Amino acid sequence: MRRVEDLQTHGLTFVQDTDLFLFGTDAVELANFAAPPKGTRVCDLGAGTGILSVLLAGKYGCTVTAVEIQEACCALIEENAARNHLDITVAHMPMQDFRGNFDAVVCNPPYMKAGSGIPRGTAAEQTACFETHVTFDEVATAAARLLSTGGKLYLVHHITRLAEVIATLKAHCLEPKKLQILRPSPQKPPHLFLLECMRDGREGIVVLPERSVGV
């Protein structure tokens, strides 16, 4: 089933398809965290149905290339780009094969490793949630390849993988520079983190105040 969401910013609307993975608070938080300057050339790795691409192009005036392996998701990205008159190009391919050069890369990767937990939902939901098509090491490899020295990577991930994620990024010359921990409510433990990295950056990280976000 299809439905149209009012994104309640900059007159943007977004078509969702319940047969595909529906965007959540984490994608919106990541877009706000990244907030790239107007004109920034951004690559959205594993773009899903394109909510990050739409927000970055629509709110911040970025030129976005959305890389996505699922054909149905690519079609929805193109539809949402057209309905909002946004500068978004879609690359239908695995991120492992994509090449280019960008000022910034954003990624909301699968949170769970392949074989962990119980598979659930549609094939599209499993692709979005589990590392069946891409591992985090491959995400880091792709981001490092697409960025020149000084380029920025912005990502969101599950708090249980924080140490692993940072170690992997540093191994690919993506130096963590800014970290923010998120929790679903003041009464619940942290569940997500937002991270900004710099390609070939010097060591030194700023930790922002922890925030509670609705889910």
Tell me the pLDDT tens digit for each residue of 74-96. 999 999 999 999 999 999 999 99
Residues 21, 48: contact at Cβ < 8 Å? yes
Asked whether the predicted pLDDT for residue 120 surpasses 90, the reply is: no
d(CA 136, CA 142): 10
Q: Which helix H or strand E contains 71, and what residues bound it?
A: helix 71-83
The percentage of residues in the chain with a pLDDT greater than 90, rounded to a whole number, is: 90
d(CA 142, CA 99): 8
Q: Which residues pair with 14 in a beta bridge?
A: 5
Predicted local confidence at residue 214, as pLDDT: 65
| This prediction's pTM | 0.96
Rg (CA), the chain: 16
State the pLDDT confidence band at 125, using cuts at 50, 70 and 90.
confident
Lowest mean pLDDT among 44-48, 117-121, 140-144: 117-121
The percentage of residues in the chain with a pLDDT greater than 70, rounded to a whole number, is: 97
Residues 179, 166: contact at Cβ < 8 Å? no
Q: Tokens 């098509």 identify what position?
A: 133
Amino acid at 108: N
d(CA 93, CA 211): 35
**Domains recognised in the chain with CATH numbers:** 33-203 (3.40.50.150)
